[in-house]
Amino acid sequence: MIRQVIGAPDYDTYLDHCRTAGHPPRLTQPEYVREFFERKGRAPRCC
């Protein structure tokens, strides 16, 4: 939940969605994070 508040990617929520929808995840965690930031129009930063 806190990740949603600060706008950070939440891979666990993505995995829960995939389980609920009945399909395997198509993205690994690094792929998910990369896509998340690409959709937001900015690259991830380390600090």
Domain ranges of the chain: 2-40
User: What pLDDT score was predicted for residue 7?
Assistant: 55
Place of tokens 């896509």: 35
pTM: 0.66
Per-residue pLDDT band at 47 (split at 50, 70, 90): very low
19: CB partners within 8 A, 6+ apart: none
Backbone φ and ψ for 46, nearest 5 degrees, come out as -90, -25
